[in-house]
Amino acid sequence: MPLRGKCAAHCLFMAYAVIRTGGKQYRVEPGSLIRVEKLVGEVGSPVEFTEVLLAGGDAIRIGTPLVEGVTVRGEIVGHARDKKVLIFKKKRRKNYRRRRGHRQSLTTVKVTEIA
């Protein structure tokens, strides 16, 4: 039975990988945009992720802890800052109140290939 609809173009072979950067793990595919913690580099410069935990497609390869010989390449699309997170400390009846804010710097990366 032939595939139809949106799935027809990409269901035959969907390469994906799970990478680790900035202490977090991301599931990526070629062409996807991810927002990671700030990376050093200008907009348009290439970036390479070598910490690949899992590589999938026709056959799934699981690393112990990393998959050997697989890298994920991408291009920096932009730099931004996340929404502000407020930290508020209070001790009741002691007139102790502290308010502090934090904005995380982020980098948007477009994944170009999984090799």
pLDDT digits 0-9 by tens, 56-103: 988 899 999 999 999 999 999 999 999 999 999 999 999 999 999 999
Does residue 70 form part of some domain? yes
**Nearest-angstrom CA–CA distance, 26 and 53:** 10
**Nearest-angstrom CA–CA distance, 105 and 95:** 33
Give me the number of domains the chain comprises.
1
Q: Are 104 and 81 in contact (CB under 8 A)?
A: yes
Q: What pLDDT does residue 5 have?
A: 52
**Nearest-angstrom CA–CA distance, 63 and 49:** 15
What tens digit of pLDDT does each residue of 12-60 get?
345 999 999 999 999 999 999 999 999 999 999 999 999 999 999 888 9
Does residue 42 form part of some domain? yes
Does residue 97 form part of some domain? no
**Nearest-angstrom CA–CA distance, 39 and 3:** 40
Burial of 24 (0-12, 13-18, 19+ CB in 10 A): exposed
Does residue 94 form part of some domain? no
Q: What pLDDT does residue 6 have?
A: 52
The boundaries of the domain holding residue 26 are: 11-79+108-114
**Nearest-angstrom CA–CA distance, 30 and 14:** 9
**Residue 21 or residue 9, greater confidence:** 21
